[in-house]
Structure 1
Amino acid sequence: MTDMTEVAITAPKRPGRLAEFWQYFSENRGAVIGMWTFAILVLLALLADFIAPHSATEQFREATLQPPVWQEGGSWTFPLGTDPLGRDMLSRLLYGARFSFFVGMVVVVIAATGGILLGLVAGFAPKWLDTVIMRLMDIILSFPSLLLALVLVAILGPSLLNAMIAISIVLQPHYVRLTRAAVINERTRDYVVSARVAGAKLPRLMFVTVLPNCLAPIIVQAALSFSNAILDVAALGFLGMGAQPPTPEWGTMLAEAREFILRAWWVVTLPGLAILITVLSINLMGDGLRDALDPKLKRS
């Protein structure tokens, strides 16, 4: 009896869920770097009103295509130079980050909400309804995502709001498939059967019993969808089907500056770098989330 008590006392205490998550997440150095980079970008976007030296749409006609400060002819008044209309590049990049993160957040919320609901219904529904839902998702996935988004925006009309709606529809099938697969895997487990026997109604089974245990892959998909949304809205903006001038959106900035790529490299390079760094940091963070949340990747 004494030996068993000593063993119980000396047994290592299991870390909490948050501590365990951070333990696995922090093992991926790229994910940690991506997390801090993303956090800095979000902070810059939130503080754009205080950090930006000028308004994003204010034009300085006497300083069009002025180079960055480190080049000959540059000025600290415009640290990253100006665009063809004399607007400050630093200010437009900062406000553009705010637009990009807002778009990513709205798209993920809409796509995930609709996708999770449809996935739960498909996972618990009769076979005929499950087949109808999944064949509809297969039809959407059979189209190239950017082409389908272009068609939807062309129907709805070019604007940032319509671009967000179109991208949400394009990304939604991924959540439906993930949720349905997780639900089918979970619904035959003992705790679900016990809840059924105890008299739990279908809505409670779906949203309280099963859904919390299906969130790990959905969270990882949300991180990847966030970066895809930023890329897609930039692509639509570049094609003139997303945010419209003078909105300081990175894709629109690229479209406005493409004819000046040989004369003023910074008007194209800087928005492109902003997209690259943002998407890369989110994808790295998504890899870390996958490592931390997928039990198959955790070492015993």
Structure 2
Amino acid sequence: MSNPSINTSTSSSAPLKPSAAVAAPPKPLREFWGYFSQNRGAVIGLAIVCLMVLMALFADLIAPHSAIDQYREAILVPPFWQDGGSMKFLLGTDPVGRDMLSRLIHGARLSLIIGLVSVSLSMILGVILGLFAGYFRGMVEVAIMRLMDIMLALPSLLLAIAVVAILGPGLMNAMYAIAIVMLPHYTRLTRAAVIGEMEKDYVSASRIAGASKWRIMFNCVLPNCAAPLIVQATLGFSSAILDAAALGFLGLGAQPPTPEWGSMLASALEFIQSAWWVVTFPGLAILISVLAFNLMGDGLRDALDPKLKR
């Protein structure tokens, strides 16, 4: 017969295995993608934005023709599926014989550059002003926020036109004007986020530990305000593309023969009835790019906002 005491001692001396029910916490990127991918529109917007980035990076290789070369024998050629179209110019040509597809592809590069420069400038300056307003409060906050209120009181396009009229027409000046127009949004958003974070316990602990004001502002508070700023920057791309197209349409942005979607619309207005493609394709490019950034911004908001996660 077997001795039960021996079996009991043997089983009790065996090492305990961790429970399989205790799972490791999800990785941040995997968790972010899990929330982001639940929004199908955001995934579609991300795919379109990635396609635009690839088009911008490899525009010289993808575009079948130069964006500024004129083919005098092929003026206002329709797209290839219409009568009189040619496979040489898949989306037709413009009033001076330039390939529409090549200009649209190079226009994507220009639109992304405008969005990147404008959003970067306005975000950097807006974050600094918002940090000062939310941290120091008092007269500093009053001075900064009243200036932002004055800028918000003016229509955005009118303010951009006024800035370009002062600086002069051109692509770089249009970027500066768009950055100034978007500046109040980043300043107000940063100030609101900083005021909310200043009430947290970790800020009080940092002060007790002897951290300087600059360390608390930039090392403690600012990283915790990054989520809404990232969402606003994504949505700011769409606003920058729209404002750049509006300035180009008015002749205050990129100057011919630069392939910019707004200037392409302006140069084709008189042919809107006789050659529909010279107006439709640039308009669709603006519509699709703005919609893609807006959809992606909605997905980022859903994935980064802890309230929506709950």
Q: 1:237 aligns with which of 240, 243, 248?
A: 248
In structure 1, distance between residues paired with 2:137 and 2:52: 46
Within-5 A mapping of 1:106-117: 106-117=117-128
Sequence identity (%): 64
Identify the residue that residue 132 of structure 2 maps to in structure 1: 121
Kindly report the root-mean-square deviation, in angstroms, between the aligned alpha carbons of the 2 structures: 1.3
TM-score, length of structure 2 as denominator length: 0.93
Identify the residue that residue 152 of structure 2 maps to in structure 1: 141
| AA aligned opposite 2:115 | G
Identify the residue that residue 224 of structure 2 maps to in structure 1: 213
1:66 aligns with 2:48: no
Identify the residue that residue 93 of structure 1 maps to in structure 2: 104
Identify the residue that residue 306 of structure 2 maps to in structure 1: 295
Q: 2:211 aligns with which of 200, 209, 213?
A: 200
1:25 aligns with 2:24: no
Q: Please give the secondary structure, in 2, of the residue aligned with 1:282.
A: helix
Displacement of 1:126: 3.9
Alignment size in residue pairs:
296
In structure 2, distance between residues paired with 1:27 and 1:57: 42
Which structure has the bigger radius of gyration? 2
Q: 1:283 aligns with which of 294, 301, 304?
A: 294
1:227 aligns with 2:238: yes
Question: How far does the alpha carbon of each residue in 1:199-221 deviate from its partner, in whole angstroms, 9 at most, with x for none?
Answer: 10111101101100000100000
TM-score, length of structure 1 as denominator length: 0.96
Unmatched 5+ stretches in structure 2: 1-15
Unmatched 5+ stretches in structure 1: none
Q: Please give the secondary structure, in 2, of the residue aligned with 1:63.
A: coil
Displacement of 1:46: 1.1
Displacement of 1:42: 1.2
Q: Please give the secondary structure, in 1, of the residue aligned with 2:225.
A: helix
In structure 1, distance between residues paired with 2:303 and 2:177: 31
In structure 2, distance between residues paired with 1:67 and 1:188: 63
In structure 2, distance between residues paired with 1:10 and 1:174: 46
Q: Please give the secondary structure, in 2, of the residue aligned with 1:56.
A: coil
Q: 2:49 aligns with which of 15, 38, 41?
A: 38
| AA aligned opposite 1:183 | V
Displacement of 1:128: 0.8
